[in-house]
Structure 1
């Protein structure tokens, strides 16, 4: 009796099961930050793109560096093109993840288990335990090297909800490095009101998958990223809806002018209902009854005399 073929199919089945499980873990990681931007940092801040925004009372830990930007680096090298799971983390963590998966799947195809039989396997249950261990190790590495772990929602601290306090230009220190000497810019209360309204309008346009609406609110670079994310959802047969957006608190990080353009980076702490559904309306992530929080720096840019457009989102540390 030839047992080679059944064993081969058994190995392939175990490898496919591992891929499906890893895929589901990856989807859960993406879906956990389903709002516009997906919990990542991308966009451009003019000459300060590769200089972190000044910390504020709202976000005293500063911001995570950009994972994606179309702005060339000052040293002449190309901009980072990170994306997906690896694009969120540190190259070392991404490399370790790739090594774990490559070696593990190779072991499965050869019938040695994910760790070459070193853990005893124990059938499919053993496989699940090994994959779970890898997932938690990789997640720890990503948090260790990026400092981008999610923060729990915090209440407002003396500022009326939904109002950006006017701190005035110069209230936050000017960022050091390239572009630090750009002229400061005075930000009026009407500007803060526009920032807050743009926050809500972008979430609403995103929920409608309205690219024309996003083009009126964000730079072409940001619309490109949003479009990629919306296409990813459509490709998976899902859609994301954000509603009841509330700005809990916000303040100015820095504002400046350069090259005929004005820039303002604002630290925002806001909350929302964030739900992902399939095309039948069945909820696959999030809850329509639970609010989630976001701590982000939003940078706005405008031509002199024009409207403010969102040009960057960075996650707060």
Structure 2
């Protein structure tokens, strides 16, 4: 091989090495630590989300849906039992006054809640459960209920109450007194009430007798208070 051919080979090798170096500097080399590209082929495109709005459940605003608290008692309504509150009457006028003071007040929902409160209070009184009664009753009413429970216990007696059913729940009065709203409800229910002594002997009532009972209860709450709960403030029997 001539010296000139050897020189040409060396020159070509140098040129090839130069191009390989430049190519690697442009393309780079993978080390396993490269930053991930912003574009992810497995990431949903904006168009992939079309139609998802139909699956979104909007959370209810205050006063427009059920709440998770004691006042959910007053969030299940019975439209047919509150229709009488919508006519031109003193009751309707009273409800209007309450609505002006409390935009979240709904007589239909209130009726359902009143039914739930009635069932809870009747059951707690029969069980002698003053702790459960405390948040549902105003001070004076609680004192009366708690006193009756303690008097029953002092005689070693127990009360068995079976609520067969509630025949009707009707709003009969509504009014505002300063900042407080008062709503009176008439409950007609069928119950079996039996009082037994410490030996289990019946001292009052008949376990085979269903009695229709009418109770008139008044509930109240301060419309300026953040506490949404109503309390039982008065009880009476029909005239």
TM-score class, shorter: 0.5 to 0.7
Secondary structure of the corresponding residue to residue 98 of structure 2: coil
Question: What is the alpha-carbon distance in structure 1 between the residues aligned to residue 214 and residue 168 of structure 2?
Answer: 10
**Greater Cα radius of gyration, structure 1 or 2:** 2
Deviations, residues 292-312 of structure 1 (Å, cap 9, x unaligned)? 121221111122251121111
Number of corresponding residues: 152
1:311 to 219, 225, 233: 233
Q: Could you say which structure has the higher strand fraction? A: 2
Residue 208 (structure 1) aligns with = 127
Secondary structure of the corresponding residue to residue 124 of structure 2: helix
Question: What is the alpha-carbon distance in structure 2 between the residues aligned to residue 270 and residue 216 of structure 1?
Answer: 23
1:67-146 equivalent positions in 2, closer than 5 A: none
Using the size of structure 1 for normalisation, the TM-score is: 0.43
Residue 299 (structure 1) aligns with = 218
- Using the TM superposition, give the Cα deviation of residue 167 of structure 1 relative to its aligned residue in structure 2, in angstroms: 2.7
1:188-203 equivalent positions in 2, closer than 5 A: 188-203=107-122
Decide whether the 8 Å contact of 1:242 with 1:275 is kept in 2. yes
Question: What is the alpha-carbon distance in structure 2 between the residues aligned to residue 173 and residue 236 of structure 1?
Answer: 47
Residue 97 (structure 1) aligns with = none
- The answer as to 2:138 corresponding to 1:219 is yes
Question: What is the alpha-carbon distance in structure 2 between the residues aligned to residue 242 and residue 164 of structure 1?
Answer: 27
- Using the TM superposition, give the Cα deviation of residue 188 of structure 1 relative to its aligned residue in structure 2, in angstroms: 2.5
1:185 to 91, 98, 111: 98
Aligned-pair RMSD on alpha carbons? 2.7
Q: Tell which has more relative contact order, 1 or 2 (C-alpha 8 A, sep 6+).
A: 1
Secondary structure of the corresponding residue to residue 279 of structure 1: coil
Gaps in structure 1 of 5+ consecutive residues = 1-161
Change (3 A) 1:276 1:247: same
2:207 to 282, 288, 292: 288
Using the size of structure 2 for normalisation, the TM-score is: 0.56
Q: Could you say which structure has the higher helix fraction? A: 2
Change (3 A) 1:226 1:267: same
- Using the TM superposition, give the Cα deviation of residue 250 of structure 1 relative to its aligned residue in structure 2, in angstroms: 2.5
- The answer as to 2:192 corresponding to 1:273 is yes
